[in-house]
A and B are shown apart, each in its own frame.
Chain A
Amino acid sequence: MANFFSDNKDLQYHLSHPLMKRIIELKERNFADAAEYDYAPQDADDALDSYQRVLEIVGDVCGEVIAANAESVDHEGPRVVNDHVEYASGTVRNLEALNAAGLGGMTLPRRFGGLNMPVTCFAMANEMVARADAGFENIWGLQDCAETINEFATEDIKAKFLPRVSAGETCAMDLTEPDAGSDLGAVMLKATWDEAAGVWRLNGCKRFITNGDGDISLVLARTEEGTKDARGLSMLIYDKRDGGVKVRRIENKLGIKGSPTCELVFNNAPAVLVGDRKMGLIKYVMSLMNAARLGIAAQSTGLCEAAYREALKYAAEREQFGKAINEFAAVREMLKNMEAKTLASRAMLYETARFVDIYKQLAHISHDRSLEAEERQEMKFYNRLADGFTPLAKMFASEYANEVAYDSIQIHGGSGYMKDYACERLYRDARIMNIYEGTTQLQVVAAINHVTKDTYLEQMLRYEEEPRSEATAAMAAQLVELRKVYEQVVERVESFDKEANGYKELHSRRLVEIAGYILISHLMLRQATEVEADYLNAAKIFVKYAAKKITEAAYYINTSEKSDVELFG
Chain B
Amino acid sequence: MEKVTKIVVMAKQVPDTRNVGKDAMTAEGTVNRAALAAIFNPEDLNALEMALQMKDRIGTATVHVLTMGPQRAADVIREAMFRGADGGYLLSGKEFAGSDTLATSYALACALRKINPDIIVAGRQAIDGDTAQVGPQVAEKLDLPQVTYAEELIAIDDKEITIKRRLERGSEVVVSPLPAVITVNASAKECRPRNAKRVMKFKYALATSELATADDKLKAFIDERSYLHIVEFAAADVDPDPAQLGLSGSPTKVKKIENVVFQAKEAKTLTSDDKDIEALMQELIASHTLG
Cross-interface CB contact of A101 among B195, B200, B203, B227, cutoff 8 Å: B195
Binds B, one of A52-60, A140-148, A294-302, A405-413: A52-60
Q: List chain A residues, Cβ under 8 A from B221.
A: 42
Cross-interface CB contact of B193 among A50, A57, A115, cutoff 8 Å: A57
Closest Cβ of chain B to A66, distance in Å, is 11
B interface residues, how many (CB within 8 angstroms) = 14
Assembly CA distance A60 to B197 (angstroms): 16
B141 at the interface (CB under 8 A from A): no
Closest Cβ of chain B to A141, distance in Å, is 17
Asked if B203 and A103 make an inter-chain contact with CB atoms under 8 angstroms apart, the answer reads no
A38 at the interface (CB under 8 A from B): yes
B114 at the interface (CB under 8 A from A): no
222-241 of chain A: CB within 8 A of chain B: none
Asked if A100 and B200 make an inter-chain contact with CB atoms under 8 angstroms apart, the answer reads no
Instruction: Using CB atoms, name the residue of chain A closest to B194.
Output: A57
Do A100 and B225 form a contact, CB below 8 Å, given A39-B200, A50-B203, A54-B200?
A: no
- B187-230 near A? 1/0 per residue, CB < 8 Å: 00000111111111101000000000000000001000101000
Asked if A103 and B196 make an inter-chain contact with CB atoms under 8 angstroms apart, the answer reads yes
Assembly CA distance A74 to B225 (angstroms): 47
Closest Cβ of chain A to B195, distance in Å, is 4
Closest Cβ of chain B to A431, distance in Å, is 28
Assembly CA distance A328 to B194 (angstroms): 43
Partner-B contacts on A (CB < 8 A): 38-42, 49-50, 53-54, 57, 60-61, 65, 97, 100-103, 115
Asked if B197 and A100 make an inter-chain contact with CB atoms under 8 angstroms apart, the answer reads no
Asked if A57 and B199 make an inter-chain contact with CB atoms under 8 angstroms apart, the answer reads yes
Assembly CA distance A57 to B203 (angstroms): 13
Cross-interface CB contact of A57 among B196, B201, B225, cutoff 8 Å: B196
Q: List chain B residues, Cβ under 8 A from A40.
A: 200
Q: Is the interface of B mostly helix, strand, loop or mixed?
A: helix
Closest Cβ of chain A to B131, distance in Å, is 25
Q: What are 26 A-B contacts defined by CB distance under 8 Å?
A: A39-B196, A39-B200, A40-B200, A41-B200, A42-B221, A49-B203, A50-B199, A50-B203, A53-B199, A53-B203, A54-B199, A57-B194, A57-B196, A57-B199, A60-B193, A100-B193, A101-B192, A101-B193, A101-B194, A101-B195, A101-B196, A102-B196, A102-B198, A103-B196, A115-B197, A115-B200
Q: List chain B residues, Cβ under 8 A from A102.
A: 195-198
Do A100 and B195 form a contact, CB below 8 Å, given A38-B225, A42-B221?
A: yes
Assembly CA distance A97 to B190 (angstroms): 11
Q: List chain B residues, Cβ under 8 A from A115.
A: 196-197, 200
Q: List chain A residues, Cβ under 8 A from B197.
A: 39, 102, 115
Assembly CA distance A510 to B195 (angstroms): 46
- B9-27 near A? 1/0 per residue, CB < 8 Å: 0000000000000000000
Q: Which are the 4 A-B pairs with shortest beta-carbon distances?
A: A39-B200, A102-B196, A102-B195, A100-B192
Assembly CA distance A60 to B45 (angstroms): 15
- B138-167 near A? 1/0 per residue, CB < 8 Å: 000000000000000000000000000000
Closest Cβ of chain B to A109, distance in Å, is 14
Instruction: Using CB atoms, name the residue of chain B closest to A49.
Output: B203
Assembly CA distance A50 to B200 (angstroms): 6
Cross-interface CB contact of A39 among B192, B193, B194, B201, cutoff 8 Å: B201
Q: List chain B residues, Cβ under 8 A from A38.
A: 201, 225, 227
Q: List chain A residues, Cβ under 8 A from B193.
A: 57, 60-61, 65, 97, 100-101
Closest Cβ of chain B to A132, distance in Å, is 14
Asked if A53 and B200 make an inter-chain contact with CB atoms under 8 angstroms apart, the answer reads yes
Assembly CA distance A266 to B57 (angstroms): 39
Closest Cβ of chain A to B193, distance in Å, is 4
Closest Cβ of chain B to A417, distance in Å, is 15
Partner-A contacts on B (CB < 8 A): 192-201, 203, 221, 225, 227
Instruction: Using CB atoms, name the residue of chain A closest to B19.
Output: A1
Assembly CA distance A50 to B82 (angstroms): 13
Instruction: Using CB atoms, name the residue of chain A closest to B195.
Output: A102
Q: List chain A residues, Cβ under 8 A from B199.
A: 50, 53-54, 57
Q: List chain A residues, Cβ under 8 A from B194.
A: 57, 60, 101
Instruction: Using CB atoms, name the residue of chain B closest to A110.
Output: B197
Instruction: Using CB atoms, name the residue of chain B closest to A42.
Output: B221
A sample of 6 more A-B contacts (CB under 8 A), given A57-B199, A101-B195, is A38-B225, A41-B200, A53-B203, A60-B193, A100-B193, A115-B197
Q: List chain B residues, Cβ under 8 A from A50.
A: 199-200, 203
Assembly CA distance A480 to B166 (angstroms): 70
Q: List chain A residues, Cβ under 8 A from B227.
A: 38
Instruction: Using CB atoms, name the residue of chain B closest to A98.
Output: B193
Instruction: Using CB atoms, name the residue of chain A closest to B221.
Output: A42
Instruction: Using CB atoms, name the residue of chain B closest to A420.
Output: B288
Instruction: Using CB atoms, name the residue of chain B closest to A39.
Output: B200
Closest Cβ of chain B to A514, distance in Å, is 42
Q: List chain B residues, Cβ under 8 A from A65.
A: 193
Among B198, B199, B221, B225, residue most surrounded by chain A Cβ atoms (within 10 Å):
B199
Q: List chain A residues, Cβ under 8 A from B192.
A: 100-101
Q: List chain A residues, Cβ under 8 A from B203.
A: 49-50, 53
Assembly CA distance A101 to B191 (angstroms): 11
Q: List chain A residues, Cβ under 8 A from B200.
A: 39-41, 50, 53-54, 115
Assembly CA distance A100 to B193 (angstroms): 7
Instruction: Using CB atoms, name the residue of chain A closest to B203.
Output: A53
Assembly CA distance A511 to B149 (angstroms): 67
Assembly CA distance A39 to B197 (angstroms): 6
Among B192, B194, B203, B227, residue most surrounded by chain A Cβ atoms (within 10 Å):
B194
Instruction: Using CB atoms, name the residue of chain A closest to B18.
Output: A1
Assembly CA distance A60 to B225 (angstroms): 29
Q: List chain B residues, Cβ under 8 A from A100.
A: 192-193, 195
Q: List chain B residues, Cβ under 8 A from A41.
A: 200
Closest Cβ of chain A to B224, distance in Å, is 11
Instruction: Using CB atoms, name the residue of chain A closest to B287.
Output: A420
Q: List chain B residues, Cβ under 8 A from A42.
A: 221
Instruction: Using CB atoms, name the residue of chain B closest to A58.
Output: B196
Closest Cβ of chain A to B101, distance in Å, is 28
Instruction: Using CB atoms, name the residue of chain A closest to B225.
Output: A38
Assembly CA distance A50 to B197 (angstroms): 9
Instruction: Using CB atoms, name the residue of chain B closest to A1.
Output: B19
Closest Cβ of chain B to A50, distance in Å, is 5
Closest Cβ of chain B to A462, distance in Å, is 35
Do A54 and B196 form a contact, CB below 8 Å, given A39-B201, A49-B203?
A: yes
Instruction: Using CB atoms, name the residue of chain B closest to A55.
Output: B196
Instruction: Using CB atoms, name the residue of chain A closest to B191.
Output: A100
Assembly CA distance A101 to B199 (angstroms): 10
Assembly CA distance A38 to B227 (angstroms): 10
Assembly CA distance A40 to B225 (angstroms): 14
Assembly CA distance A102 to B221 (angstroms): 25
Assembly CA distance A522 to B203 (angstroms): 38
Assembly CA distance A42 to B224 (angstroms): 14
Instruction: Using CB atoms, name the residue of chain B closest to A103.
Output: B196
Closest Cβ of chain A to B219, distance in Å, is 14
Instruction: Using CB atoms, name the residue of chain B closest to A54.
Output: B196
Q: List chain A residues, Cβ under 8 A from B225.
A: 38
Assembly CA distance A40 to B201 (angstroms): 8
Assembly CA distance A60 to B200 (angstroms): 16
Q: List chain A residues, Cβ under 8 A from B196.
A: 39, 54, 57, 101-103, 115
Q: List chain B residues, Cβ under 8 A from A103.
A: 196
Closest Cβ of chain B to A468, distance in Å, is 37
Assembly CA distance A155 to B173 (angstroms): 51
Q: List chain B residues, Cβ under 8 A from A61.
A: 193
